[in-house]
Amino acid sequence: MEVRAVSKYVRISPQKVQNLIGAIRGKPVEAALDVLRFMPQKSARILSKVIQSAAANAAQSADIDVDTMIVENILADKGPTLKRFRARARGRGTRILKRTSHITVILSEA
């Protein structure tokens, strides 16, 4: 049985989220949350919230034991990019790209 949670339009680059995904893929839910709790990155807090949401979704079903769930897969897809401009020398402007992510967490029973 699979359970998923999706967080969309998160204001962080998908590349920064993908740096942490390898550390928690395939681990039990509690172990993954423990690993993320001690990581200093901004994406660690975001990922832990999405994993907790997926675990809460699993708890809603009567036939799923949350204690045996593992993090089967995590996807950090590219969302829309906010385009901004910064004033530069000689009247020029350069683009600033503020990237967003769509984060999907899939939990399954071990």
Residue 86 pLDDT greater than 90, yes or no: yes
* Residue 15 structural domain: 2-109
Mapped onto helix, strand or coil, the DSSP state of residue 9 is strand
Q: Are strands 69-78 and 101-109 parallel, antiparallel or unpaired?
A: antiparallel
pLDDT, position 38: 94
CATH number at residue 75: 3.90.470.10
Mean predicted confidence (pLDDT) in 74-102 = 96
Report how far residue 81's alpha carbon sits from residue 93's, in angstroms, rounded to the nearest whole number: 18
- Overall number of domains in the chain: 1
pLDDT tens per residue across span 59-80: 998 788 888 999 999 999 999 9
